[in-house]
Structure 1
Amino acid sequence: MTGVVYFVVIVLANSLGAVSGMGGGVIIKPVFDFIGANSVVEVSFYSAVAVFVMSIVSTIGHLKNGFCLKWLVVLWVSLGALIGGMVGDLVFSKIVAVTGQRNALLVQVILTIITLLFAMLYTRFNWQSFNLEGFFWYLLCGITLGFFASLLGIGGGPINVALLMWMFGIKIKDATVYSICTIFFSQLSKILTIAFTTGFAKYDTSMLMYIIPAAIVGGLVGSRLSKVLSAEKVVIVFQLMILTVILINVYNGIEVLI
């Protein structure tokens, strides 16, 4: 029964996540925490796999739809995300080891809410972009995005789109595609870090038979919706997702405290 629930959650979350560029982990992670069927470490792993698979499917879909990527931007941001993702996963593992799963979850909830508020304020008030260029800024952006993606276990989230728009002046529909590409590398780094450190033995990998197909479906639906929705509609989807996830995280944070 848990697998079926996970399947439905992932399809819905990844569909919306592919459209908004947030990557479904921003919904998958807190909802799975709320369900409480698995540990915080397992949930982070399942979320990473779901978003990783979705990012592959969604990126292929965008390229087939004719989106022209600036590969130099993708290269440097993704390299940074790969580095940041490894660091973020190691930091999260350290937090769990030092403080325990309960406090680690609380840290994730608080930091997730902070990044959500940043993204909401940026898209609400249209802050002036810096229009930065050059490999250093692309690399720094990627490191920041990859670090928070792995640390929070949300596979990217709202900070991706908002930071890309803020630093480089990218329009929201373009930023969502670059965000998904970045998410691919940040989650790849998370999965590789697990593979070469603790391994996968401690995870119930039977759940992947539900998670991977659901991620594929979500990626296909999301890339199709992204093609037909206007930039204004994408902003609405983005902001509604933020509000929803803030409420879920606030509830989960209260549950941890009491």
Structure 2
Amino acid sequence: MIVLLFLICLSASMVGSICGIGGGIIIKPLLDALRIMEADTISFLSGCTVLAMTAYSVGRGKLNKGSSHLDSGRSFPLAMGAALGGVLGKQLLQAVLERSESASSLGFVQAICLLFVTLFTLLYTLQKKRIVTHNIRKAWVCILIGMCLGGLSAFLGIGGGPLNLVVLYYFFSMTTREATENSLYVIFVSQCMSLFVSIVSRSVPVFASLILVFMVLGGIAGGMAGRSISQRIQDSTVEKLFVILMVVMIGICGYNIYQFSR
């Protein structure tokens, strides 16, 4: 099972790094579909894997300043909002878990939310050229947007996923590469806060430490490979890969909703 988890995290993080969606959008629903762990455990491990991958991607971007697309006027307020959203999202996750009859009920709620998010993202992406975008600069608006993205990231355990890109396209008129880098930055900050809250509140689920090690290693290796590949391909190729991925994830989410409802 450990080898399977490593390969899933490796491939998911590689694709997630290329598309700027963090990898959790693949890891979380795919592990839910395999039913090898409880939903809350999968959320936590997926979040840690995404954190490791984005830490590498953001760190490399900071070191390579010449290719950075982070704008302190917008990226920093977005990250501040994501940090607060990460705390709120984690609290919401715990509240839903406490009120659920089982971890499967939590998985059902997450699968429905993820299905709508993914479907909305796909529809927006297909119609993107017809949609008029904005170029928001106000810091307080950036903070609010980051809060929403960070909260969703922490609650679903997917690292923000595809919705980040849609929001960054629409509100900030970012290019694909700008949105990708800023998305990973927001994911990194929100997952840091989510992990911090889990540790402080002692809500870390029980799991074998070796599983976390191999998932994190897969996340980092996938992030390295994805960053290298993304520098060699065109934006149009990234967008095509993104659309294909969304279609696949909609199918997996639908399957998970069916499984959790039984």
TM-score range, shorter chain: over 0.9
Deviation at 1:199, TM superposition (A): 4.9
Residues 98-247 of structure 1 aligned to structure 2 (within 5 Å): 98-100=99-101, 101-126=103-128, 127-200=131-204, 202-247=206-251
Q: Which amino acid aligns with 1:37?
A: I
Q: From the superposition, tell whether residues 204 and 40 of structure 1 become closer, same or farther in structure 2 (CA, over 3 Å).
A: same
Contact residue 61 and residue 223 of structure 1 kept, 8 A = no
What do residues 79-114 of structure 1 show as CA deviations (whole Å, max 9, x unaligned)? 101111111111011111102322211110111111
- Distance in 1, matches of 2:206 and 2:11, equals 27
Does the residue aligned with 1:130 lie in a helix, a strand or coil?
coil
- Distance in 2, matches of 1:156 and 1:222, equals 18
Contact residue 141 and residue 164 of structure 1 kept, 8 A = no
Q: From the superposition, tell whether residues 197 and 113 of structure 1 become closer, same or farther in structure 2 (CA, over 3 Å).
A: same
Contact residue 61 and residue 224 of structure 1 kept, 8 A = no
What do residues 220-240 of structure 1 show as CA deviations (whole Å, max 9, x unaligned)? 011111111111111111111
- Distance in 1, matches of 2:8 and 2:163, equals 21
Number of residue pairs matched by the alignment: 257
**Structure 2 segments unaligned to the other structure (5+ residues):** none
Question: More displaced, 100-109 or 248-257?
Answer: 100-109
Deviation at 1:203, TM superposition (A): 3.3
What do residues 110-142 of structure 1 show as CA deviations (whole Å, max 9, x unaligned)? 111111122111111112112222101210110
- Distance in 2, matches of 1:203 and 1:72, equals 40
- Distance in 1, matches of 2:230 and 2:207, equals 33
Does the residue aligned with 1:228 lie in a helix, a strand or coil?
coil
Contact residue 89 and residue 153 of structure 2 kept, 8 A = yes
Q: Which amino acid aligns with 2:199?
A: A
Deviation at 1:218, TM superposition (A): 0.5
Query: What is the match of residue 252 of structure 2?
Result: 248
- Distance in 2, matches of 1:223 and 1:38, equals 29
Contact residue 86 and residue 194 of structure 2 kept, 8 A = yes
- Distance in 1, matches of 2:132 and 2:122, equals 15
- Distance in 2, matches of 1:45 and 1:26, equals 13
Does the residue aligned with 1:195 lie in a helix, a strand or coil?
helix
Calculate the TM-score normalised by the size of structure 1. Answer: 0.96
- Distance in 2, matches of 1:82 and 1:256, equals 30
What do residues 61-88 of structure 1 show as CA deviations (whole Å, max 9, x unaligned)? 3342722421232211011011111111
- Distance in 1, matches of 2:257 and 2:221, equals 30
**Structure 1 segments unaligned to the other structure (5+ residues):** none
Calculate the TM-score normalised by the size of structure 2. Answer: 0.94
Query: What is the match of residue 86 of structure 1?
Result: 87
Deviation at 1:169, TM superposition (A): 0.7
Does the residue aligned with 2:231 lie in a helix, a strand or coil?
helix
Q: From the superposition, tell whether residues 193 and 232 of structure 1 become closer, same or farther in structure 2 (CA, over 3 Å).
A: same
Alignment partner of 1:57 is 2:72: no
Contact residue 41 and residue 205 of structure 2 kept, 8 A = no
